[in-house]
Amino acid sequence: MSTATHMIIVTGATRGIGLEAARDILRRDPGTHLVILGRRSSAEAIMPSLQEISAHVSTIDVDLASTASIIAAGAQVEDQLDSGALPPLGGLIFNAGVHLSNAMESTVDGYERTFAVNVMSTHQLLRQLHPHLKTPSRVVVTVSDAHFGDLRHTAGTMPSPRWSDPEVLSRPGAFDSPEKVRAGRRAYVTSKLGGIHLVHEWARRLPEGIDIVAYNPSLVVGTGLARETGGAFPFLMSRVIPILARTPLVDTPRPAGRKLADVVLGSVAAPSGSYIHREKITPSSDESYDPDRELRLWNWLEQVRGRDAT
């Protein structure tokens, strides 16, 4: 039986912002039992450093590009909650994400990998685990201001999102010249727009006292996200952008992780459905506020969830 008072589950915590947020949460909130959902090899590699901070940390193996793996990981959480091995669920952090060099990669289920990991896995896990959330609690989804797709937010490094029917977006080849780097960029920004749509729709459905917010860390160097992007982006992120880390325009993982921990732990007050840019509530893009589109995305995800579970 854990002596912690509550549990927080986090994806994308084996490197970068997520890892720094995990460390910060364990330092600041001794009552938290942190569960890292990630690939076993990556999660086990960071466990010694986290256990130096707190004994209340454990891992559950998951492949967020596999529906079966997500369902199995969620079931493990539920089993451990039922047995008392884990304390009540007090928060969820969906920080995992991929940014690929094309829009052609398929998951084991046949979905385009960017959309599957960045949008579909969030809904699947939240749908499975949200009944266990105690009140009050907070759900945080890491998004990106790249979803604006304009010069101000991307400095011309990213195309604008191109939303269409979720069934189309979920399949490889949804964008023009899908084998090209630009299509991979477009798949990424479109998935981040989808993440905000998801937050808005979930905010309408979660009960009072259980909030969900979108967190935008803005530009952060050293996260490892650029490793699969192709083109000049890895060079920009490793050689050019770090020069700007000395300015307020760019963060490194440690301060960005602290800001994510602030959001998770409630240090940043925000109503459900908010878009938090670093530490402040701001509007997301005009395109991101579309209740009809958000409902269609929800309905499609529910249809897929029922189909893939059989």
Digit-coded pLDDT (tens) for 147-206: 999 988 877 889 999 999 999 999 999 999 999 999 999 999 999 999 999 999 999 999
User: Has residue 86 been placed in a domain?
Assistant: yes
pLDDT tens-place string over residues 240-286: 445 444 445 577 889 999 999 999 999 999 999 999 999 999 999 99
Measured between alpha carbons, how far is residue 47 from residues 34, 50, 51, 56, 123 in Å? 11, 5, 6, 11, 27
What domain range is 301 assigned to?
6-308
Residue 270 lies in a domain: yes
Amino acid at 265: L
Q: Which residues of 16-55 are buried (b: 16+ CB within 10 A; e: fewer)?
A: bbbbbbbbbbbeebeebbbbbbbeeeebeebeeebeebbe
pLDDT value of residue 180: 96
Asked whether residue 106 is domain-assigned, the answer is yes
In a domain, 213, yes or no: yes
Q: Which residues contact 139 (CB under 8 A, 6 or more apart)?
A: 91, 92, 93, 94, 126, 130, 133, 202, 206, 210, 211, 212, 213
CATH code of the domain covering residue 152? 3.40.50.720
In a domain, 1, yes or no: no
Number of residues in the chain: 310
Strands 275-277 and 280-281, bridge-based pairing: antiparallel
Instruction: Provide the domain count of the chain.
Output: 1
Q: Which one is predicted more confidently, 213 or 223?
A: 213
Task: Please give the Cα distance from 274 to 52 (Å, whole number).
Answer: 34
Residue 76: inside a domain = yes
What is the separation, in whole angstroms, between the first and last Cα of the chain? Answer: 34
Task: Give the global pTM.
Answer: 0.90
Rounded CA gap, 168 and 190, in Å?
A: 12
Instruction: Work out the percent of the chain whose per-residue pLDDT is above 70.
Output: 90
Q: What is the 3-state secondary structure (H, E, C) of 255-302?
A: HHHHHHHHHHHCCCCCCCCCEEECCEECCCCHHHCCHHHHHHHHHHHH
| pLDDT given for residue 160 in this prediction | 96
Task: Classify residue 99: in a domain, yes or no.
Answer: yes
Q: Exposed, middle or buried, 135 (CB in 10 Å: 0-12/13-18/19+)?
A: exposed
In a domain, 87, yes or no: yes
